[in-house]
């Protein structure tokens, strides 16, 4: 019997909020970013994302620059505080139950997110998901450079990165009996249309309309 694949978007899907957007706010609150220069740009990038017009390259430059300004050991400790203060309250019981159900069924579970893997890997781990595909910050000699390596996991980039990940393990999407993808965002339509079972979760207006037209299931994890 073929194994099934369960893909989960993270921000506003498994999480009742956005880990990327809130990371910048958290850094401002910690006094590590200047509120005046960063707040407005953060708001604009978030609005662009919701409208589906985000320039992912420019956004990642903005989002990853603070990582280059501190040692990795300091950032790792800072992230622990971020998890406790900001992320844990966004993790819902329904989301955890959904992940647990797929794991119990023996499905291959992957969190796939446009947000960088420094921010998101500990969150995926907290949900008990071993595998994460995210936009990867560049590292040199164990420290972050502020750059990005590989294809960002945004829009069609999610398809590219998933296929790369599967090929590296000698697999392809069609090897799975059922492939699920849970997402809230119309930015994920490219990947949603490739899996056998797309599920709209607390969907934005555009995705909700597409889901209704295509007869995709809709659910809430809030």
pLDDT in tens, 30-68: 999 988 888 888 889 989 998 989 899 899 988 999 999
CA distance 137 to 63: 10
According to the model, what pLDDT value does residue 209 have? Answer: 98
Residue 48 is part of a domain; what is its CATH number?
3.40.50.1000
Q: What is the DSSP letter of 116?
A: E
CA dihedral for 38, 55, 203, 163, sign (positive or negative): negative
The answer to whether the beta carbons of residues 91 and 15 sit under 8 Å apart is yes
The answer to whether residue 9 is catalytic is yes
- Can you say whether residue 155 is alpha, beta or left, with left for phi > 0 and alpha for psi between -120 and 50 degrees? left
Q: Please say if the pLDDT value at position 219 is more than 90.
A: yes
According to the model, what pLDDT value does residue 128 have? Answer: 98
Alpha helices, DSSP H, located in the chain = 19-29, 35-51, 56-64, 72-82, 93-104, 117-126, 156-168, 189-192, 205-214
Q: Is 182 helix (H, G, I), strand (E, B) or coil?
A: strand
Among the options 9, 18, 20, 136, which is catalytic? 9
Residue in the block written with tokens 């609150």: 29
Q: Please say if the pLDDT value at position 14 is more than 90.
A: yes
What average pLDDT does range 153-166 have in this prediction?
98
Residue 177 is part of which domain span?
A: 5-219
- Can you say whether residue 159 is alpha, beta or left, with left for phi > 0 and alpha for psi between -120 and 50 degrees? alpha
Q: At what angle do helices 35-51 and 19-29 cross, to 10 degrees?
A: 170
pTM above 0.85, yes or no: yes
The answer to whether residue 11 is catalytic is yes
Domain count, the chain: 1
According to the model, what pLDDT value does residue 107 have? Answer: 98
């Amino acid at each position: 019997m073929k194994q099934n694949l369960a893909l989960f978007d993270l921000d506003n899907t498994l999480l009742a909020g956005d880990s990327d957007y809130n990371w910048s706010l958290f850094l401002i609150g910690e006094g590590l970013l200047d509120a005046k220069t960063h707040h407005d740009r953060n708001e604009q990038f978030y609005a662009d994302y919701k409208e589906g017009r985000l320039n992912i390259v420019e956004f990642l430059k903005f989002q990853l620059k603070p990582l280059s300004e501190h040692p990795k050991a300091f950032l790792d400790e800072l992230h622990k505080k971020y998890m406790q203060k900001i992320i844990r309250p966004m993790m819902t019981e329904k989301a955890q139950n959904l992940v647990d159900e797929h794991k119990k069924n023996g499905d291959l579970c992957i969190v796939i997110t446009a947000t960088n893997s420094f921010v998101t890997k500990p969150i995926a781990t907290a949900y008990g998901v071993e595998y994460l595909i995210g936009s990867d910050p560049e590292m040199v000699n164990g420290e972050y450079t502020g750059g990005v390596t590989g294809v960002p996991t945004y829009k069609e980039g999610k398809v590219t990165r998933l296929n790369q990940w599967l090929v590296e393990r000698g697999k392809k999407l069609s090897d799975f009996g059922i492939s699920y993808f849970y997402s809230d965002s119309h930015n994920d339509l490219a990947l949603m249309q490739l899996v056998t079972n797309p599920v709209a979760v607390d969907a934005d207006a555009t995705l909700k309309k597409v889901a209704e037209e295509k007869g995709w299931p809709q659910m809430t994890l809030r």
